[in-house]
A and B are shown apart, each in its own frame.
Chain A
Amino acid sequence: MEGERRASQAPSSGLPAGGANGESPGGGAPFPGSSGSSALLQAEVLDLDEDEDDLEVFSKDASLMDMNSFSPMMPTSPLSMINQIKFEDEPDLKDLFITVDEPESHVTTIETFITYRIITKTSRGEFDSSEFEVRRRYQDFLWLKGKLEEAHPTLIIPPLPEKFIVKGMVERFNDDFIETRRKALHKFLNRIADHPTLTFNEDFKIFLTAQAWQGPGLLSRMGQTVRAVASSMRGVKNRPEEFMEMNNFIELFSQKINLIDKISQRIYKEEREYFDEMKEYGPIHILWSASEEDLVDTLKDVASCIDRCCKATEKRMSGLSEALLPVVHEYVLYSEMLMGVMKRRDQIQAELDSKVEVLTYKKADTDLLPEEIGKLEDKVECANNALKADWERWKQNMQNDIKLAFTDMAEENIHYYEQCLATWESFLTSQTNLHLEEASEDKP
């Protein structure tokens, strides 16, 4: 269960909404294994990359659909869902597909909250059916996360989107916020589904399938208490070398990814302000053309070029906000997550160390100790191995995700500049042509 899993370098689309899959799967290492079926799937994956329609349709909040029938809007083949879900394992092993959509507002006397619809499709035997639909709210996700952390303290649990973002938020439930959260929740569940160990977690199954859901309430608060204890500082004297390295990495990584998050957000903001100003720039030329008889065409053409560049900017912005920002932000949350994991590992080790101390120095009541220590040693070994394996997997995924996100960003920019270039070049050509026409009509 906690053995090594081959990490694959499969393509991963950023997010549901038409993720820019600019890179072919051959971008990194070649596909591990090449059984007949996986090669076939790979080809179909590539086709679907180019088929915009599937992606578009699938990303819509299909809120008017009747879920009991397989409506045409809902892709029914697992293959079409592949592009929705982050690819972490070999395609032929995927048997659990989850989507999060349809946010709905619920108003009660005490509070207002949002629930999300979660649809699960699976071919696994342990599930009673092949399809499930449930509604869950953010608190429920918190509960699930808590349970997973409890059960696997040294595994890298995917991060949840923040409870709320204080900065710049007026209402708790504005549309952008909900959409961003929905996408992040979708990613959260799919990451769990793709995790070799977590995917078989019982609470995960309950979360996905239980219709009669009490609402975690008490339970979620309990999960938080467990975490609170785990995060209390305990000096770690005997942290093994590799975990020291890991810890250093995590600290530095956390710093850097936070900076990158800030930079990326800032770039988005600047681009938006640039766009706002550009919107005003084009029309002035039209205004001017009204008083210039001889320059009407030139001015109007300039105005239309500026407008087209404006649209290209908008597209670039939206590409940034879909491909880069969520990925970077997720890894910011991951870095916090990782620090928690390190602490929990340290704590497990600390338990062992303190018992060993008692045995070595105190000699009091030591009959049961060796047995206890033995158990704890096993526990530590398990925890360390779990973490080591998961760490490698996580790093591999991180590299892929970051690489893809930045490559997408570069793509967006290239595309933006190419569009603008074409616009201005065609303007120039039309002006030169006009000039040549006029010149040939003029007397020397």
Chain B
Amino acid sequence: MEQAPPDPERQLQPAPLEPLGSPDAGLGAAVGKEAEGAGEESSGVDTKIEISVSEAEKRTGRNAMNMQETYTAYLIETRSVEHTDGQSVLTDSLWRRYSEFELLRSYLLVYYPHIVVPPLPEKRAEFVWHKLSADNMDPDFVERRRIGLENFLLRIASHPILCRDKIFYLFLTQEGNWKETVNETGFQLKADSRLKALNATFRVKNPDKRFTDLKHYSDELQSVISHLLRVRARVADRLYGVYKVHGNYGRVFSEWSAIEKEMGDGLQSAGHHMDVYASSIDDILEDEEHYADQLKEYLFYAEALRAVCRKHELMQYDLEMAAQDLASKKQQCEELVTGTVRTFSLKGMTTKLFGQETPEQREARIKVLEEQINEGEQQLKSKNLEGREFVKNAWADIERFKEQKNRDLKEALISYAVMQISMCKKGIQVWTNAKECFSKM
């Protein structure tokens, strides 16, 4: 790790315990070794694959409670591209609904706790400005969600580790029974309980400072992006108002031109330009919505970051508890061996009350404890190793994530500027035309 200047995200902190043991590999999942660099959409095989969510369709069906429901299904198409001639062949195509995407993500979260798992696009429309409907069935929302789901799959496919996951592969290829396959992995059982995680967060004593800082960062990121999206929505609302009111000029100018002899033509054509101006805002704001979606992705990524931090805290807490437990057992053993009772224990009390135990009894107890201590030491060693592996791997992915984030956000901000420029150019054009009409009046 580099010796960077003080930076909350990268500060070096030696781990408290010694490294040993094997990494917490995916349990039962087909995990290959880390690929070098994030190859674009590379699968376990050498040909590239292209993934697209190409269509969205409204469907009706019956849900688990046999009630009729409406939902949207998305068509996922996978193509393999030959290196040599660049031709693409459709290899798989199937329909999935949003809940299946959620299932995939939940699975990935359990089996890859050290990875910053890409987030899904929002389930319900939030940060809407008034004209946009918050209705999930609204075609614009569905369209944006389609793009978001495609983006989600592409992110996984371009992740060096996640792209090799078998369940992910099946998601793209196994139409029927995929859900059963996922559930058969039993991942739900392996998921850490929310309560346990919360408990760990409060009680852990020595988490790696980098993770603590990362948590703070993700909180800040979430807060600032939410704020930005809220204000952006309000600004969009106002801008919409300004443009649309100008449309009224079009109507009135047109009516007025009927009674004006000299001014008539100028008024009429100026009015037309006012209409053009008013209607131009729809496309402008539609584009801006895509920008907002880019920001939203990183808003949701904040939660993914926090998930990794939580896992670390949990592991660390586990480790601390195990160490504590071991220490207390050692102490007990020592006391038994030396005969001194330094700590209060129930056994000690009962001994005092009911008389000393026999030497044989004591020996037995010491033996048990020594076994437990041995076991405990082994476990501690392996937990330690797990912890260090986790930190190493997680941190590697976090670095990868940071690079991605910086690239993406910068690109998004630049695209925002490009949108503004386009809006300004349109504005100049319309008003120049209008001015010409006015000056001819």
Is B198 part of the contact surface with A, judged by Cβ < 8 Å? no
* Inter-chain contacts of B7 with A (CB < 8 A): 293
Known A260-B252, A417-B428, A428-B417; judge A270-B238 contact (CB<8 A). Answer: yes
* Inter-chain contacts of A402 with B (CB < 8 A): 263, 441
Q: How large is the interface on A (under 10, 10 to 19, 20 to 34, 35 or more residues)?
A: 35 or more
State in angstroms the CA–CA spacing of A273 and B246 once bound together.
15
Is B206 part of the contact surface with A, judged by Cβ < 8 Å? no
- Contact string against B for A residues 412-430, beta-carbon threshold 8 Å, 1 for contact and 0 otherwise: 0110111011001101100
Q: Does B259 lie within 8 Å of A249, measured CB to CB?
A: yes
Q: Which of B427-441 contact A (CB under 8 A)?
A: 427-428, 431-432, 434-435, 438-439, 441
State in angstroms the CA–CA spacing of A428 and B431 once bound together.
24
- Contact string against B for A residues 350-377, beta-carbon threshold 8 Å, 1 for contact and 0 otherwise: 0000000000000000000000000000
Q: Which of B217, B242, B406 contacts A270 (CB 8 A)?
A: B242
Q: Does A295 lie within 8 Å of B431, measured CB to CB?
A: no
State in angstroms the CA–CA spacing of A287 and B228 once bound together.
10
Q: Which of B239, B242, B427, B438 contacts A406 (CB 8 A)?
A: B438
Nearest A residue (CB) for B410: A298
State in angstroms the CA–CA spacing of A23 and B435 once bound together.
11
Nearest B residue (CB) for A250: B259
* Inter-chain contacts of A248 with B (CB < 8 A): 259
Is A172 part of the contact surface with B, judged by Cβ < 8 Å? no
Q: Does A273 lie within 8 Å of B241, measured CB to CB?
A: yes
State in angstroms the CA–CA spacing of A298 and B405 once bound together.
14
State in angstroms the CA–CA spacing of A256 and B271 once bound together.
13
> Smallest CB–CB gap between A282 and chain B, Å?
10
Q: How large is the interface on B (under 10, 10 to 19, 20 to 34, 35 or more residues)?
A: 35 or more
Q: Which of B237-272 contact A (CB under 8 A)?
A: 237-239, 241-242, 245-246, 248-249, 252, 255-256, 258-260, 262-263, 266, 270
**A interface, over-half SS:** helix
* Inter-chain contacts of A278 with B (CB < 8 A): 235
Q: Does B424 lie within 8 Å of A420, measured CB to CB?
A: yes
Q: Does A277 lie within 8 Å of B256, measured CB to CB?
A: no
Q: Does B413 lie within 8 Å of A299, measured CB to CB?
A: yes
Q: Does A285 lie within 8 Å of B428, measured CB to CB?
A: no
Is B35 part of the contact surface with A, judged by Cβ < 8 Å? no
Q: Does A417 lie within 8 Å of B439, measured CB to CB?
A: no
Known A403-B441, A410-B438; judge A267-B421 contact (CB<8 A). Answer: no
Q: Does B435 lie within 8 Å of A410, measured CB to CB?
A: yes
Q: Which of A266, A274, A305, A403 contacts B235 (CB 8 A)?
A: A274
> Smallest CB–CB gap between A140 and chain B, Å?
35
Q: Which of B116-157 contact A (CB under 8 A)?
A: none
Q: Does B231 lie within 8 Å of A295, measured CB to CB?
A: no
Q: Does B421 lie within 8 Å of A284, measured CB to CB?
A: no
Q: Which of B239, B252, B431, B432 contacts A263 (CB 8 A)?
A: B252
* Inter-chain contacts of A27 with B (CB < 8 A): 439
Nearest A residue (CB) for B8: A291
Nearest A residue (CB) for B252: A259
Q: Does A280 lie within 8 Å of B231, measured CB to CB?
A: yes
**B interface, over-half SS:** helix
Known A263-B248, A285-B228; judge A413-B406 contact (CB<8 A). Answer: no
* Inter-chain contacts of B101 with A (CB < 8 A): none
State in angstroms the CA–CA spacing of A414 and B77 once bound together.
47
Q: Does A260 lie within 8 Å of B241, measured CB to CB?
A: no
Q: Which of A260, A294, A414, A428 contacts B414 (CB 8 A)?
A: A428
Is A407 part of the contact surface with B, judged by Cβ < 8 Å? yes
* Inter-chain contacts of A421 with B (CB < 8 A): 421, 424-425, 428
Q: Does B406 lie within 8 Å of A284, measured CB to CB?
A: no
> Smallest CB–CB gap between A280 and chain B, Å?
5
Is B181 part of the contact surface with A, judged by Cβ < 8 Å? no
> Smallest CB–CB gap between A289 and chain B, Å?
9
State in angstroms the CA–CA spacing of A276 and B249 once bound together.
24
Q: Which of A256, A263, A281 contacts B245 (CB 8 A)?
A: A263
Nearest A residue (CB) for B10: A293
> Smallest CB–CB gap between B170 and chain A, Å?
37
Nearest B residue (CB) for A22: B435
Q: Does B259 lie within 8 Å of A252, measured CB to CB?
A: yes
Is B329 part of the contact surface with A, judged by Cβ < 8 Å? no
Q: Which of B221, B228, B425 contacts A291 (CB 8 A)?
A: B221
Q: Which of B9, B239, B241, B416 contacts A302 (CB 8 A)?
A: B416
Q: Does B417 lie within 8 Å of A427, measured CB to CB?
A: yes
Is A211 part of the contact surface with B, judged by Cβ < 8 Å? no
* Inter-chain contacts of A424 with B (CB < 8 A): 417, 420-421, 424
Is B55 part of the contact surface with A, judged by Cβ < 8 Å? no
Q: Show 11 A/B contacts (Cβ-Cβ < 8 Å), sorted by A.
A: A253-B256, A270-B242, A274-B238, A274-B242, A284-B224, A287-B224, A292-B406, A407-B439, A417-B431, A424-B424, A428-B414
Known: A403-B438, A406-B270, A407-B439. 15 other contacts (CB 8 A): A249-B259, A253-B256, A263-B252, A270-B242, A273-B241, A274-B238, A291-B217, A291-B224, A293-B9, A298-B410, A298-B413, A399-B260, A403-B266, A407-B435, A417-B428
A residues near B (Cβ < 8 Å) are 23, 27, 248-249, 252-253, 256, 259-260, 263, 266-267, 270-271, 273-274, 276-278, 280-281, 284-285, 287-288, 291-295, 298-299, 302, 305, 309, 399, 402-403, 406-407, 410-411, 413-414, 416-418, 420-421, 424-425, 427-428, 431
